[in-house]
Amino acid sequence: MPTTPASTPLHVVIVGNGVAGITAARHIRKHSNHRITIISSESKHFFSRTALMYIYMGHLTYEQTKPYEDNFWEKNRIELVYDHAERIDTDAKTIHVKSGAPIRYDKLILATGSVPRKFGWKGQDLRGVQGLYSLQDLQNMIDISHRIKRAVIVGGGLIGVETAEMLYSRGIPTTFLVRESRYWNSILPNEEADMIGRHIQEHSTIELRTNTELQEILDDGTGGVRGIITKSGEEIPCEFVAITVGVEPNVALAKTSGIPTERGIVVNEFFESKIPDVYACGDCAEMQHSSGAAQGRIEPLWYAARAHGERVAANICGERHEYTRKTFFNSAKFFDIEYQTYGTVTAKLGENEATIFWQDAPSAATKRLLRIVYAKDATKRVLGFNVLGVRYRQDVCTHWIERKASIEEVLEHLGAANFDPEFFAQAEAHLVEEYNRQEGKNLILKKKRSLWNALHILSSSKAA
């Protein structure tokens, strides 16, 4: 599809003010003089979605979750429309909003994000049943909390554990239903899943139920929740049900407007949809590479959404480059245990993969776990890291993966990745000792590197 030179003034309209849409707007303004309009019915201003839980727990106010002052948008000539986009006329290039006049565009970016996934359970639309994704979800949860005597969480992912922590902060007894035999065992290897499962159950008001699935949500007779029934037939009384079984692309607007969708809004490697001048990025986009090359088709991650926004902005401004998925990275917290993952670490090892891991004993005061996955071939190249209870530098870990560094080289210099404060106890030597025990080697961990030395290793390796 043709691109328009950045010097030609255009009206770029963005539907959605999450991180993908806002990043696109910022970079379009950085590189062009285009007119920019952002439409959102969720909030007037951009806020940090990952901070929703902290508003509920009283650690932050809504104002404190906004990365930019309210005058930022006017100063940068970015128009904000607080309204709901109902339909797009792609022939006339207009967006019909709920309460205002149609808005015309030259280029349109759909950054509509995700919606909580539901599976058609009876009672799933009752009052008191919700996900935790939007500002409205948060407000609903705040409004109902004073009358919740018991809550049920369905689904064991990251949003599930965040919701459990939120309810725990208010002393609300919670039953946490996980269909797998271990917490989040579809993603976490057994050792990580067991460690986090134990940690969740250490919180006295939370009951973690594995191998348990939801069958039905019960009506209290007024359209609210009075309990749930599991697939084993057990009834659990509750007034609140959090559905946290993942998210799916929000494609409702695209579908209504005849923009092709499959699981997400179908785009190519330049984020162009099959409709001229309509783009999609972030959680709602499903990338199908025009060459047929394998791609991460949907990337429902904050870090990916930011990268999408930057790349689609460059393409609209005339710097046409295809998007290539970067080395996978994610981070989260399981209550007070920090979690980072880099590269490829799956719940079950692949046929050509090997792993080395170490963790604190269950009785230890600290809860730390380090895992490295590497190729089971002559290269022994590192494929991925799981890090719990320790902080590692993203640049160092991803560089090792991308440079195909061997497991032994990485282990010897593993201190370079550690980002914990100076006087924290270091865990890297334990992992080296475990590798030596398994492989009959005699590797020696080099002295923990300073930030300067860590960066020096990176620059030297790149030069080589």
Phi/psi of residue 187, nearest 5 degrees: -115, -45
Burial (Cβ within 10 Å: 0-12, 13-18, ≥19) of residue 195: buried
Place of tokens 């007037």: 44
CA angle (140 as vertex; 339, 109 as ends), nearest 5: 70
Helical spans, DSSP H, in 117-189? 135-144, 158-169
Burial (Cβ within 10 Å: 0-12, 13-18, ≥19) of residue 413: buried
Token pair belonging to 84: 């709901």
Tell me the pLDDT tens digit for each residue of 168-221: 999 999 999 999 999 999 999 999 999 999 999 999 999 999 999 999 999 999
Predicted structure pTM score: 0.90
pLDDT of residue 464: 45
Q: Note the Cα 362 to chain centre separation in Å.
A: 28
Q: CA-CA distance, 172 to 156, in Å (whole number)?
A: 18
Tell me the pLDDT tens digit for each residue of 371-412: 999 999 999 999 999 999 999 999 999 999 999 999 999 999
Residue 295, pLDDT > 80, answer no
Q: Is 192 helix (H, G, I), strand (E, B) or coil?
A: helix
Burial (Cβ within 10 Å: 0-12, 13-18, ≥19) of residue 367: buried
Token pair belonging to 346: 């799956």
Q: CA-CA distance, 388 to 375, in Å (whole number)?
A: 22
Residue 90, pLDDT > 60, answer yes
Q: CA-CA distance, 408 to 445, in Å (whole number)?
A: 10
Tell me the pLDDT tens digit for each residue of 243-280: 999 899 999 999 999 999 999 999 999 999 999 999 99
- Bin 451: left if φ > 0, else alpha if -120 < ψ < 50, else beta: alpha
Mean pLDDT over 410-424 rounds to 88
DSSP string, 259-316: --BSSSEEE-TTSB-SSTTEEE-GGGEEE--TT-----S----HHHHHHHHHHHHHHH
Q: CA-CA distance, 189 to 355, in Å (whole number)?
A: 11
Token pair belonging to 54: 């902290």
Residue 3, pLDDT > 50, answer no
pLDDT of residue 190: 97
pLDDT of residue 421: 79
Residue 454, pLDDT > 90, answer no
Residue type, 61: T
Question: Do the beta carbons of residue 262 and residue 252 sit within 8 Å?
Answer: no
Phi/psi of residue 139, nearest 5 degrees: -65, -40
Tell me the pLDDT tens digit for each residue of 22-56: 999 999 999 999 999 999 999 999 999 999 999 99
Confidence of residue 449 (pLDDT cuts 50, 70, 90): low
Question: Can you list the domains of the chain with their CATH numbers?
Answer: 11-115+248-316 (3.50.50.60), 129-245 (3.50.50.60), 329-463 (3.30.390.30)
